[in-house]
Amino acid sequence: MHNLKLASVVVGLSIASSGFAATEIEWWHAMGGANGEKVNEIAKAFNDSQDAYEVKPVYKGNYTETMTSAIAAFRAKQQPAIVQVFEVGTASMMAAKGAIYPVYKLMRESGQAFDESAYLSAVTGYYTNSDGQMLSMPFNSSTPVLYYNKDLFKKAGISQAPKTWQEVETTAKKLQASGVSCGFTTAWQSWVQLENLSARHNVPFASMDNGFGGLKTELKFNGPLQVAHVEKMGEWQKNGIFSYSGRTNDGAAKFYSQECAMFTESSAGYAGIKRNAKFDFGVAELPYWEGKVKQPSNTIIGGASLWVLQGHSKEEYKGVASFLSYLSSASVQADWHQFSGYLPITKAAYDLTKGQGFYAANPGTETGVIQMTTGTPTGNTKGLRLGNFVQIRGIIDEALESVWSGDVDAQTALNTAVERGNTQLRKFEKTND
């Protein structure tokens, strides 16, 4: 695709050899497999582009393990300079007073050119403070989309992907009539079917701008829209229009095997689907409920960002700032976006990818970007900033599973989840106020 070394030209990393050993910068991350290899490649290209700094990527396990390791290391005063933290850990990182070095401040104090308006607001908004200043650097961001099996659609006489949830239902019935056992399945049910459902319809998931307004936020995902959607999905689970596949992305197996013809999953799932699907597939925007909103709003992101930790030397921070500039350059971002399926974080990277013909050659890869940049983000669509969010998602999963199994109605299940989730928020508030 692109020679990552060329990116150094963009950010002006022409540092003369001084004869001293390069300053080491440790970067802890959670990227395994092919993405982990790509992370190593990015770091090596940066290291080869200059001789003042050496970035050392260290894989620390999954997101939870990486964050836990960083917290333990900070307490032992052995923390890395950079750590990758998943989006649900944002509130916890912000609350770690004295532990983080905000990116906007780092760039300014290190003398790095840094134009926050160059970044896609729908991506960076998740990681900014109330003044719109970036606290961490987005790295791998994704948003949910609808994948569909074009071969099964053709067999059922369906010419296009559904845009609304009403159309998902009628499409699924046509598919079932043609012999398909399951209309659709979903990955990451809380993220897709509640968090992004709420954003898509511009209704609150929580009060105080989904937690951006402060620690006294309360959960609101038991409103009429969310209850109606979950109630409907409970009905669909009974008749095969929907088939529950688990809390993570286990639904991929049902999509690959063609048991289910549609699959709501992360835009970053594209590479895996392209590799495993033995059929022609398409990518459409996440459906919305017709009649509940005139124009669907942008969806919100998943993924992770890079946080800079306190406790390092001024020289190390100059290196960190240089590296983050390098990471943000159009060529590096475009290469990462095209390789991984994660969203580009800058308009320049998006424009470069488009200009290179990548979207035309890989239909559907632009869908998530278009969906994410729909309109201007509101207090309901900027993102979520909730303490103890990992625990809250677990509570939501339990509630949804109780509806899918037919044990509880949607209103009762979501009321209970809100009550239990608010208890988690109050615990977080008490600890961090």
For residue 387, give both structure tokens: 């303490």
Distance CA 181, CA 131 (A): 50
> Does residue 380 lie in a domain region?
no
Predicted confidence pLDDT, tens digits, the chain (433 residues): 545 544 444 444 444 444 568 999 999 999 988 899 999 999 999 999 999 999 999 999 999 899 999 999 999 999 999 999 999 999 999 988 789 999 999 999 999 999 999 998 888 888 988 888 999 999 999 999 999 999 999 999 999 999 999 999 999 999 999 999 999 999 999 999 999 999 999 999 999 999 999 999 999 999 999 999 999 999 999 999 999 999 998 999 999 999 999 999 999 999 889 889 999 999 999 999 999 999 999 999 999 999 999 999 999 999 999 999 999 999 999 999 999 989 999 999 999 999 999 999 999 999 999 999 888 889 999 999 999 999 999 999 999 999 999 999 999 999 999 999 999 999 999 999 7
> Does residue 222 lie in a domain region?
yes
> Does residue 5 lie in a domain region?
no
* CATH number of domain containing 350: 3.40.190.10
> Does residue 372 lie in a domain region?
no
Residues 246 and 355 grouped into a single domain: no
> Does residue 176 lie in a domain region?
yes
Look at residue 129 in the predicted model and tell me its pLDDT: 86
Residues 33 and 173 grouped into a single domain: no
Region of 132 on the Ramachandran plot (φ > 0 left; ψ -120 to 50 alpha; else beta): left
For residue 343, give both structure tokens: 């969203």
Range of the domain at 397: 144-299+387-432
Look at residue 5 in the predicted model and tell me its pLDDT: 47
Residues 244 and 155 grouped into a single domain: yes
> Does residue 261 lie in a domain region?
yes
Distance CA 147, CA 279 (A): 12
Residue that the structure tokens 């990462």 belong to: 336
Contact between 310 and 101 (Cβ < 8 Å) = yes
Boundary-marking domain end, from 346, 361, 376 = 361
Helices (H), 193-300: 196-200, 207-210, 224-239, 251-256, 270-276
Residues 74 and 188 grouped into a single domain: no
Cβ partners under 8 Å of residue 161, min gap 6? 146, 148, 153, 282, 284
Residues 197 and 62 grouped into a single domain: no
Contact between 139 and 306 (Cβ < 8 Å) = yes
Residues 34 and 123 grouped into a single domain: yes
Residues 126 and 148 grouped into a single domain: no
Backbone angles phi, psi at 17, to 5 degrees: -65, 135
Residues 180 and 125 grouped into a single domain: no
Residue that the structure tokens 């677990």 belong to: 394
Count of domains for the chain: 2
Residues 189 and 263 grouped into a single domain: yes
Residues 124 and 269 grouped into a single domain: no
Look at residue 34 in the predicted model and tell me its pLDDT: 86
> Does residue 374 lie in a domain region?
no
* CB-CB neighbours of 51 under 10 Å: 15
Residues 343 and 261 grouped into a single domain: no
Could you tell me which of 131, 184, 179 has the C-alpha nearest to residue 156?
179
Residue that the structure tokens 């942008």 belong to: 298
Residues 426 and 313 grouped into a single domain: no
pTM of the model: 0.90
